[in-house]
């Protein structure tokens, strides 16, 4: 029983299926939301504490780097939301066929990107 297994696996050459990509991005977006939770809480606190802190909040939001971070967090939230809903549907055994899983994965990616662009325009 001599099986020829690869000794070196080049991960950059492996084509990941769309449902696998959605799954990995779901984990990454959840981690990103968790990582930036203190920033989001600080922004919420500074927008509500006093009129002076609201002015500091507006100054912080006006920075281009902060806007890019918020757009990235917006994508992370939207992707995590829609991928989570997709996974809930899969747990209830809806859309478990290969074609349905692929189309729902494409829908999650597309809706997340389109809504991020639309809401990002309003944010900028």
Domain ranges (residues) in the chain: 18-32+64-123
Question: pLDDT per residue over 62-105, tens digit each?
Answer: 899 999 999 999 999 999 999 999 999 999 999 889 999 999 99
Return the pLDDT at 1: 60
Q: Phi and psi for 6 in degrees, rounded to 5? A: -70, 140
Range 31-36 average pLDDT: 95
Return the pLDDT at 6: 62
Residues 49, 50, 54, 56, CA torsion sign:
negative
CATH architecture of 18-32+64-123: Up-down Bundle (1.20)
Task: Indicate the pTM of the whole model.
Answer: 0.83
Residue 7 has pLDDT above 80, yes or no: no
Question: pLDDT per residue over 43-56, tens digit each?
Answer: 888 888 888 888 88
Pairwise CA distance, residues 11 & 49, whole Å: 48
Return the pLDDT at 72: 93
Q: Phi and psi for 17 in degrees, rounded to 5? A: -70, 160
Return the pLDDT at 12: 78
């Amino acid at each position: 029983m001599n099986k020829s297994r690869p000794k070196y696996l080049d991960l950059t050459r492996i084509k990941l299926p769309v449902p696998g990509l959605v799954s990995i991005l779901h984990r990454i977006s959840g981690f990103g939301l968790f990582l930036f939770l203190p920033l989001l809480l600080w922004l919420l606190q500074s927008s509500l504490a006093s009129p002076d802190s609201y002015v500091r909040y507006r100054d912080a939001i006006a920075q281009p780097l902060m806007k890019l971070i918020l757009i990235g967090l917006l994508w992370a939230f939207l992707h995590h939301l829609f991928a989570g809903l997709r996974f809930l549907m899969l747990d209830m055994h809806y859309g478990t066929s290969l074609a349905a899983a692929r189309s729902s994965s494409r829908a999650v990616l597309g809706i997340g990107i389109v809504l991020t662009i639309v809401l990002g325009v309003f944010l900028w």
